[in-house]
Chains A and B, each alone.
Chain A
Amino acid sequence: MSETQGVTITKTGQAGAFGGEILTVNFGPHHPSTHGVLRLIVDLDGEQIRGIKPVIGYLHTGIEKQMEALRWQQGVVVTDRHDYLSPPINNLAYALAVEKLMGVEVPPRAQVLRVIMSELTRLSSHLVWMGTSGLELGAMSMLMYCFRERDTILDMNEEISGFRMHTSYIRPGGVFADATPRFLEMLDKFIGTMPGHVDEYENLLTMNPIWRSRTIGIGRLSPEDAKVLGASGPMIRGSGIAWDLRKTMPYSGYETYDFEVATSNDCDCYGRYLVRMKEMRESVKILRQALDRLPDGPVNVDDRKMLPPPREELETSMEAVIHHFKLFTEGYSVPAGDVYVAVESGRGENGCYVVSDGTHKPRRVKFRSASFVNLQALERMALNHMVADMIAIIGTADAVLGDVDR
């Protein structure tokens, strides 16, 4: 579309295929169906899309710059906020990267708690996707059903970390706190009821003729395109490629869980919908296994140079007071080097590239966000579709704009 630097060349005025002229229309950034503040410059021939150019950056908050100004343990709080629908998974990517640079291995109980939180997050992220995408395509009641279950997950977040959304629960060296008995009870109840709820959603949508006609054959992304464009998550699995980082490059002990990678050969919006539905069921399976095997023991590494001492020690041990003071004034330093760690979030490959220069603050933290890369496939998917289909395609690409713009 653009031939010269910095100038957007539109096709306005060119002859269209139906006897009319091509018209360039601006969508957003405040359009409710664009999931935040995505702006699109669309060339329309009648109602067909002939060109589409996403304009992003309206939610840029300089998170990577902020990370450089914060100490290693403070950065966790910022990671919560880029992909705001899956904070614990963002925490996990950052924590794993820092731990890898420091050569630290977290205790088994912390590993399992991390898996539990990751899967709960994946469920809540998919539920938000399901509710809002349903809403956009005319299935208004989906929002009520999905947010009902999501609220249970937020209650659990609150129980285990004190926060409903930005939990900062997973941190370098372990997790914030041990699971309470009430949390485990809530989780057990949730695992029991969730498969029934997924059945409910499927009853409403999977064979629903309106839903099917809005999604089948819409937004095709061939397996080759998905690979070349670097798509990840439900975008690549919806195109029939079984690429899931939990299986292909396992982390946090995912290789020991028994679950299937959800794929669909439909390569369209409906395929991506089926993948997310299957993934919700698989997540519940993983949660059940994790809850059954949850071992006893500490949830943090036993390293006073990295994590603060327990509160009760501060009253009896001078050394503990010194460690506490050093940690909260200076922080800890990480050996020089760089590392890239990728984890699977609800949207795809959520990576964290960390460069340390050996000081108590990172030299550079780069978030490789799945939404940013997946959104580049939008033009490929939406070309020659109707405007209304574009809404379905944006919906199933599931881009979170906080994640795109960081």
Chain B
Amino acid sequence: MIADTLIIDRGVSAGDAWITVPSESVRDALSGLRSEGYRLMTFLTCVDHLADASRGGAPGEGLRPAAAQGGPPPVDDFPKRFEIVYQLRNLESREQLRVRAFIGGDPPKIDSVQDMFPPANWDERETYDLFGIVFNGHPDLTRILMPDDWVGHPLRRDYPVGGETVEFSQEHEKWQTAPEDA
């Protein structure tokens, strides 16, 4: 296992082992795990914890039921709302490990790992496209699923579902046209 200083928290969720690492040393942690045999990144994604009542305590400390913490959970006070999830697999021992890192900021930034795990290349582009996470050091961080001139990041929890956001609708200029400074 990697150095304990790199692990903030660890646990098992529904049978899946996971660890939380500091977002600034995610590359160290993942390269350490990679040299231990977790050579395949099954997927990389993001979870938006905006106003997540199931999470109590200090943000960034992993999954904890709100009831165990006592007191009301913070609703809008969640500076690290984005959870980046890396699912790793060791093809020899068939073990799996989920690595989490919590980030905030505008735009939220984290280091890219696509040079260590090639499948992460498109996953990082997708996460940038749908959540607006900026991956430092990614060679081609562009939109991959949405049109290039799309405004907003659809999988964020504060992005509306449905409504007038349909292409060819009356307000299509508002939704489809990038602002001047974009």
Contact residues of A with B, CB < 8 Å?
2-3, 5-6, 56-57, 60, 62, 64-66, 68-69, 100-101, 103, 227-230, 243, 248-249, 336-340, 342, 349, 351, 353, 355-359, 363-364, 366, 368, 372-373, 376, 405-406
Contacts and interface: CB of A to CB of B under 8 A. Distances in A.
Given A57-B147, A353-B45, A376-B118, A340 B98 contact: yes
Given A249-B94, A338-B85, 13 more contacts: A62-B154, A64-B155, A100-B15, A227-B39, A230-B118, A230-B119, A248-B94, A338-B63, A340-B16, A340-B87, A363-B49, A363-B52, A364-B48
A200 B105 CA distance: 61
B43 A69 contact: no
Interface string B150-166: 00001101010110000
Interface residues on B, range: 35 or more
A242 to B, nearest CB: 11
Contacts of A372: 122
B13 A66 contact: no
Interface in B43-57: 43, 45, 47-49, 52-55
Given A57-B143, A57-B146, A340-B42, A357 B94 contact: no
Contacts of B54: 336, 356-359
B53 A357 contact: yes
Please report whether the interface of chain B is mostly helix, strand, loop or mixed according to DSSP.
loop
A359 B45 CA distance: 21
B45 A366 contact: yes
A338 B13 contact: yes
Contacts of B87: 340, 353, 368
A356 B141 CA distance: 29
Nearest to B13: A337
B181 interface: no
A319 B148 CA distance: 53
Contacts of B7: none
A57 B144 contact: yes
B119 A349 contact: no
Q: Which of A230, A356, A376 has the most CB of B within 10 A?
A: A230
Q: Which of A2, A6, A62, A229 has the most CB of B within 10 A?
A: A62
B118 A363 contact: no
A5 B142 contact: yes
A100 B117 CA distance: 28
A69 B159 CA distance: 12
B45 to A, nearest CB: 5
A227 B53 contact: no
Contacts of A65: 154-155, 159, 161
A228 B121 CA distance: 12
B65 A336 contact: yes
A100 B12 CA distance: 13
B138 to A, nearest CB: 9
Q: Which of A243, A342, A349, A353 has the most CB of B within 10 A?
A: A353
Interface in B34-86: 39-43, 45, 47-49, 52-55, 63, 65, 85
Nearest to A230: B119
A342 B42 contact: yes
A357 B161 contact: no
23 contacts: A2-B142, A5-B142, A57-B145, A64-B155, A66-B161, A227-B39, A228-B39, A228-B118, A230-B40, A230-B118, A248-B94, A338-B13, A338-B16, A339-B15, A340-B16, A349-B42, A356-B54, A357-B55, A358-B65, A363-B47, A363-B49, A364-B47, A368-B43
Contacts of A340: 16, 42, 87, 96, 98
Nearest to A102: B14
A339 B63 contact: no
Nearest to B64: A336
A304 B92 CA distance: 42
Nearest to A339: B14
A249 B16 CA distance: 13
Nearest to B53: A357
Nearest to B139: A2
A380 B14 CA distance: 37
Nearest to B51: A357
Contacts of A229: 118-119
B8 interface: no
Nearest to B41: A230
Contact of B122 (A228, A338, A376): A376
Contacts of B85: 338, 353
Contacts of A351: 42-43
A339 B96 CA distance: 12
Nearest to A369: B43
B161 A376 contact: no
Given A57-B143, A364-B48, A376-B119, A243 B96 contact: no
A56 B85 CA distance: 23
Contact of A357 (B52, B91, B142, B146): B52
Interface in B117-145: 117-119, 121-122, 130, 139-145
Contacts of A62: 154
Q: Which of B39, B65, B98, B140 has the most CB of A within 10 A?
A: B140
Given A227-B40, A373-B119, A337 B94 contact: no
B40 to A, nearest CB: 6
